[in-house]
Amino acid sequence: MEIKREKIRAHAPLAEPGSPESLRIRQLRARDLLRGDLTDEQLEEHVSQSVVTGRLEDLLNWGRANSVFPLTFGLACCAMEMIAVVGSPRNDLARFGAEALRASPRQADLIILSGRVSIKMAPVVRRLYDQMLEPRWSISMGACSSSGGMFANYAVVQGADKFMPIDVHVPGCPPRPEALIYGFNKLQRMILGNPDMGWRRRYNAEGTEEWARDDVIAGQPSESAQAAYARARQAVARTVESTGPDGFPADPAASGGEAEEAGGTFGSDEVRGTGVS
């Protein structure tokens, strides 16, 4: 049997060190750079290859988004799904740098409300949130913490955003671990300063939030709410004028005369007028 000995580096030619000539060239370029003998073109080429510029805020947000410390906290049955994303071989939150759960709110910057929030538990949750590090974030996991879920009674808060700010809502009863990881990815993009477009912005519905309405206090909706309602009414009016209140073409001729046989009221002004108050 023949035994052949060779260096391991021979199997990885890309890791081979450069030739002495190229090393000498780099040394001479470095010397010229220190002396200030480089031309403008050579200096621009060196800067483009060796220097990376950016904002300090972007660097800090990049570090925050990839080193989140969630709080060891659970409320109800959704906590079982939350546990499944920590250390699980299939759904591992460590891939995104958030596997280090902290048992103290003073060492955590993310709280996941996994389950229903009772009236008695709401001030406790708020105190834990206030004791967390800043900047801090929150995820409402499941239908119960987001809107009360099936518990539409006096003992359960109908949405955690009633008493604390919520950054991401994860729907489901309970949501799967994949859904929680997807919500966490959305939170990461929000921390990086590039959040996904929400449905209010997508459908031009800013001003319809509950916090934007003061009709409960003053008896009148806010200006932003009135503007949003006016835009919605105009959109409905345009839709009714083009398609009719039932979604059919407003032109009777397009329907083959069936409107006239039905009494001539299809597509009439009286019917179309009922679509908008």
In a domain? residue 53: no
Which residues does residue 102 pair with via DSSP β-bridges, in sequence order? 71
Which pLDDT score, from 0 to 100, does residue 208 have? 63
Tell me, yes or no, whether 84 and 155 share the same domain: yes
- Give the model confidence (pLDDT) of 109-160 as tens digits: 999 998 889 999 999 999 999 999 889 999 999 988 888 888 888 889 888 8
Q: Which residue has the higher pLDDT, 259 or 212?
A: 212
In the chain the first and final C-alpha atoms are separated, in Å, by 95
Q: Residue 64 has which token pair?
A: 């925050």
DSSP 144: H
250 and 272 Cβ atoms separated by less than 8 Å: yes
- Dist CA 116 CA 149 (whole Å): 8
DSSP helix/strand/coil, 112: strand
- Give the model confidence (pLDDT) of 89-113 as tens digits: 788 888 888 888 888 889 999 999 9
Tell me, yes or no, whether 156 and 120 share the same domain: yes
In a domain? residue 98: yes
Which pLDDT score, from 0 to 100, does residue 16 have? 54
Q: Residue 163 has which token pair?
A: 């008493």
Residue 221 has pLDDT above 70, yes or no: no
Residues 6+ apart with CB under 8 A from 233: 276
Residue 196 has pLDDT above 70, yes or no: yes
Tell me, yes or no, whether 161 and 228 share the same domain: no
Tell me, yes or no, whether 69 and 120 share the same domain: yes
Which pLDDT score, from 0 to 100, does residue 129 have? 92
- Dist CA 98 CA 75 (whole Å): 20
Which pLDDT score, from 0 to 100, does residue 139 have? 92
* Edge-to-edge strands, sheet with 168-170: 110-114, 137-141, 168-170
44 C-beta neighbours (distance < 10 Å), count:
11
Question: Which of 154, 178, 196 is the last residue in one of the domains?
Answer: 196
Tell me, yes or no, whether 167 and 240 share the same domain: no
**pTM, to two decimals:** 0.59
Tell me, yes or no, whether 70 and 119 share the same domain: yes
Which pLDDT score, from 0 to 100, does residue 256 have? 44
In a domain? residue 10: no
Q: Report how many domains make up the chain.
A: 2
Q: Residue 164 has which token pair?
A: 């604390």
CATH of the domain at 72: 3.40.50.12280
Residue 84 has pLDDT above 70, yes or no: yes
What is the distance of C-alpha 3 from the center of its chain? 59
Question: Which of 181, 196, 211 is the last residue in one of the domains?
Answer: 196
In a domain? residue 126: yes
- Give the model confidence (pLDDT) of 170-189 as tens digits: 988 888 888 999 999 999 99
CA of 153: how far to CAs of 145, 149, 150, in Å? 14, 10, 9
Which residues does residue 118 pair with via DSSP β-bridges, in sequence order? 156
What is the distance of C-alpha 39 from the center of its chain? 47
In a domain? residue 58: no
Which pLDDT score, from 0 to 100, does residue 111 have? 92
Give the max Cα distance, the chain. 101
Residues 6+ apart with CB under 8 A from 158: 147, 148, 152
In a domain? residue 266: yes
Tell me, yes or no, whether 185 and 232 share the same domain: no
Residue 259 has pLDDT above 50, yes or no: no
Tell me, yes or no, whether 132 and 237 share the same domain: no
The proportion of the chain whose per-residue pLDDT surpasses 70, expressed as a percent, equals 65
What average pLDDT does the structure give for the chain? 74
Rounded mean pLDDT of 160-171? 89
In a domain? residue 231: yes
Q: Residue 37 has which token pair?
A: 């003998």
CA of 113: how far to CAs of 38, 69, 70, 183, in Å? 59, 15, 11, 13
Tell me, yes or no, whether 237 and 179 share the same domain: no
Tell me, yes or no, whether 244 and 127 share the same domain: no
Tell me, yes or no, whether 170 and 231 share the same domain: no
Query: Which parts of 66-198 are beta strand (E)?
Result: 110-114, 137-141, 168-170
Question: Which of 196, 230, 256 is the last residue in one of the domains?
Answer: 196
* 173: containing domain: 65-196
Per DSSP, the residues of 1-49 read: -------GGGG-GGGPPPPHHHHHHHHHHHHHHHHT---HHHHHHHHHH
In a domain? residue 33: no
Tell me, yes or no, whether 129 and 92 share the same domain: yes
Rounded mean pLDDT of 46-59? 80
